[in-house]
């Protein structure tokens, strides 16, 4: 036996080991949704709410107040004001926390509150917070803030490397909640006035549904720390405080990864009049595309706003464009936002049902990441979101089916080559 023979043997073994590791990290064992969701009832039918409350859960609860916040100029001051008002506890979970002025302001404010005796728990995604200045974390920890990283690679957790927490949750005293699309970074500063000021929407929440938002945070905090935050300081009695019927809907690979996917499919299948979708990352699978085409065939109007040339993930944009054919041909209207990065995540169905939060319309959000959305069943709230949608539409450019068909062949070839990556995007 010569050296080349052993080289081949070792190379084969190494290849097999690498392939096995890839399967362990990126493979999936759960049973996935494989059947089309048919149109059985409209959004207005009580059965739709029963399905959302019982089949998927938790139950929608009445008596919530929700304030819509646009872009960093409105979002960050509202979050910081709530933090400064804390009397007992603050829980905070986010995917992106980067260095910069806004990151430092949050670190300083949270540290100040911890020194006042407020119990503060912060959960940062290990991948999403790679750009944070470690001095921010040290400052907060020195002040008494508990800071943890979600799925930091260790010998016990390396198989979960591909599962990130993408949730955006801030809860103050168990009474005031925030969720939406914003990350803690200077990119969100301003009011979407230019390429350096991202467009996003976040929501300030009061009422019984805040307890569900707190439960979503506690879910992941328990996974990381092993202790449960369950006292009245975190879950106080919450009385009705507004007109909205709402639920906080969460998903994770360990507790129903397909549930968020199913929630979106059921919402699309129930549409009778219109679907308006604002989405940062849009890579719909076959089931989602078929559900939208079926909705278009029964007369539903579909308008979708996506990022244009200003996008932080150009690969995702290319993968997305490769999926538009059947939608455009069936009559969907797709627009690209022009002024800056478009990071919103808002679904409005039949001007009555709204889902907002951290979830993107792609396989990573539906099946790989931990996500949390606020669902609201209310015409007035839906109309408020439609006002913002139309304003964004006025700053977007429509992509026609003919333009999509006539794109350069190199672009088509690149988009086609990305099909193999769509399950990870």
Q: Which residues are catalytic?
A: 166, 168, 173, 343, 345, 350
In contact, 419 and 318? CB cutoff 8 Å: no
Q: What stretch of H or E contains 61?
A: strand 61-70
Q: What is the 3-state secondary structure (H, E, C) of 337-388?
A: ECCCCECCEEEEECCCEEEEECCCECHHHHHHCEEEEEEEECHHHHHHHHHH
Q: CB–CB of 267/347 below 8 Å?
A: yes
**Which tokens is 324 given?**
């538009």
- Decide: 215 and 61 in contact? Cβ < 8 Å: no
The pairing of strands 119-125 and 89-94 is: parallel
**Tokens found for residue 195:** 């390429």
Angle between helices 71-84 and 101-115 (to 10 degrees): 10
For the chain, the straight-line distance linking the first and the last C-alpha, in angstroms and rounded, comes to 45
CA 154, 157, 163 angle in degrees (round to 5)? 125
Mind spelling out the 3-state secondary structure of 178-222? EEECCCECHHHCCCCCCCCCCECEEEEEECCCHHHHHHHHHHHHH
Residue 64 phi, psi dihedral angles, 5° rounding:
-115, 145
- Cβ atoms 295, 330 nearer than 8 A: no
- CA-CA distance, 67 to 91, in Å (whole number)? 20
């Amino acid at each position: 036996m010569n050296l080349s023979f052993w080289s081949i043997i070792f190379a084969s073994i190494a290849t097999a080991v690498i392939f096995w590791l890839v399967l362990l990290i990126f493979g999936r064992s759960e049973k996935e949704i494989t059947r089309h969701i048919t149109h059985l009832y409209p959004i207005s039918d009580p059965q739709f709410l029963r399905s959302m409350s019982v089949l998927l859960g938790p139950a929608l609860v009445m008596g919530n107040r929700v304030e819509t916040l646009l872009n960093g100029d409105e979002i960050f001051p509202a979050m910081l004001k709530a933090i400064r008002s804390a009397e007992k506890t603050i829980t905070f979970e986010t995917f992106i926390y980067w260095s910069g002025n806004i990151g430092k302001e949050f670190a300083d404010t949270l540290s100040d509150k911890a020194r006042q005796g407020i119990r503060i728990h912060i959960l940062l995604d290990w991948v999403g917070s790679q750009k944070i200045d470690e001095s921010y974390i040290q400052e907060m920890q020195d002040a008494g803030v508990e800071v943890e990283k979600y799925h930091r690679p260790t010998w016990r957790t390396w198989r979960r490397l591909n599962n990130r927490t993408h949730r955006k949750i801030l809860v103050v005293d168990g009474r005031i909640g925030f969720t939406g699309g914003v990350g803690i970074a200077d990119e969100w500063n301003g009011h979407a006035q230019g390429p350096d000021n991202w467009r996003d929407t976040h929501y300030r929440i009061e009422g019984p549904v805040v307890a569900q938002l707190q439960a979503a945070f506690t879910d992941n905090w328990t996974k990381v720390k092993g202790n449960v935050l369950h006292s009245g300081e975190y879950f106080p009695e919450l009385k009705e405080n507004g007109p909205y019927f709402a639920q906080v809907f969460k998903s994770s690979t360990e507790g129903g990864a397909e549930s968020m996917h199913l929630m979106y499919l059921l919402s699309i299948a129930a549409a009778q009049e219109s679907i308006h979708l604002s989405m940062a990352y849009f890579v719909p699978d076959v089931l989602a595309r078929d559900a939208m085409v079926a909705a278009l065939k029964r007369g539903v109007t579909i308008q979708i706003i996506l990022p244009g040339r200003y996008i932080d993930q150009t690969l995702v944009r290319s993968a997305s464009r490769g999926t538009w054919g059947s939608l455009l041909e069936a009559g969907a209207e797709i627009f690209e936002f022009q002024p800056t990065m478009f990071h919103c995540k808002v679904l409005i169905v039949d001007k009555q049902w709204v889902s907002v939060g951290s979830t993107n319309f792609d396989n990573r959000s539906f099946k790989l990441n931990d996500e949390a959305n606020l669902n609201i069943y209310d015409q007035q709230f839906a109309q408020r979101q439609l006002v913002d949608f139309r304003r964004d539409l006025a700053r977007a450019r429509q992509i026609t089916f003919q333009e999509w068909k006539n794109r350069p062949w190199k672009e088509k070839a690149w988009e086609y080559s990305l099909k193999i990556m769509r399950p990870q995007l």
